[in-house]
Structure 1
């Protein structure tokens, strides 16, 4: 490994150059443009990360880990469940809309081009699903034999639903206010999960305040 690749300051500067180009040019930003922004050649850019796949994965780690940790923190807070649900969804939508080109680069272009990046992104999304399921289990009283399995099913379903709804909203953000999406998803989640749990006349203890 070269000294340049061991230099975290230089690595961070190259990732910041990549951020600028992607934010400016969108998901079609080229590796040549990123290298030019950093003032180096494309082979030297790759040398710092091993190859293009390494650069993609470094960008994915840089941006998605922070986002997903924020989501976990929001949902695990001490506020009532509706406020936590709304805040978590709003945090996610606000982040992806504020970093639209980076989001589309990572979730669509990089994941489509590179299997390792796709796997890394999928792993991080699964981690959030599992964390959400654990919160459900910790806060509820899922004593029946299938309770834990049901929580994991719900966790993955909720995360997938919010992610897909967020993708749709990014294409309609000029027409649909973010608050409308947040409220719609919160209503669906907090109305749908109690129904799935077999309750019809009260919020189950899974969602106790």
Structure 2
């Protein structure tokens, strides 16, 4: 039997933005622990140390609260991908930084990651839209870099980008769920190496060149 998590004491009045952030933090705990369907607004309010009317002032219903939390989590991932791609002009390091982003997010923000990619409410169109947005916007950012550097058509660059994003987030989820004996750094190095050996084989800025699928990139 799991230990009950102590409720937060009733809190003093906070600025609206600070209160909203606090409520989202508490809601994340409850949704990840219990899933959307089992979570209740009563418990979220109690854990946050506020009255239900205060909670409803910020979020009219449970779905509104869940979607706000989901949107914040998705924005965190997308902003992380932007930061990783902008951190260097060296493409090999970009691959490394992007893979580090996924593994760092899983390890450091595991609860939020599960909310995005392991939601029990993906049948809801608004939830599905947010989850799909993470993949699509992340892939669009990566595709732009691939297209600029290789001259590949947009459709080809997008397919490669989606594949790289999938390699990152699916691999990271598996690494976490399997409680792997590999450290985070070891896992990132393996996956980044695999990704670079693939994407590094495409010629740069040669509009008429065929992709060299045998190239391995730098060791």
Q: TM-score normalised to the size of structure 1?
A: 0.77
1:1-209 to 2 correspondence within 5 Å? 7-21=16-30, 25=33, 30-31=39-40, 32-40=42-50, 45-46=55-56, 48-112=58-122, 114-142=124-152, 147-193=153-199, 194=201, 197-201=211-215, 203=217
More helix by share: 1
Larger RCO (alpha carbons 8 Å, 6+ apart) = 1
Q: How far apart are residue 133 of structure 1 and its match?
A: 0.2
Task: Give the secondary structure class of the aligned counterpart of 1:129.
Answer: helix
Q: How far apart are residue 191 of structure 1 and its match?
A: 1.8
Q: What is the rounded CA distance, in whole Å, between the counterparts of 1:156 and 1:111 in structure 2?
A: 23
Q: Is the 8 A contact 2:45 2:51 kept in 1?
A: yes
Deviates more, 1:104-113 or 1:115-124: 104-113
Root-mean-square deviation (CA), in Å? 2.9
Q: What is the rounded CA distance, in whole Å, between the counterparts of 1:166 and 1:94 in structure 2?
A: 9
Q: Is the 8 A contact 1:72 1:131 kept in 2?
A: yes
Aligned residues: 194
Q: What is the rounded CA distance, in whole Å, between the counterparts of 2:154 and 2:28 in structure 1?
A: 40
Q: Structure 1 regions of 5+ residues with no counterpart?
A: 1-6
Q: How far apart are residue 26 of structure 1 and its match?
A: 6.6
Q: Is the 8 A contact 1:53 1:114 kept in 2?
A: no
Task: Give the secondary structure class of the aligned counterpart of 2:194.
Answer: helix
Q: Is the 8 A contact 1:75 1:88 kept in 2?
A: yes
Q: TM-score normalised to the size of structure 2?
A: 0.74
State the 4+ residue runs in structure 1 displaced beyond 6 angstroms.
Answer: none
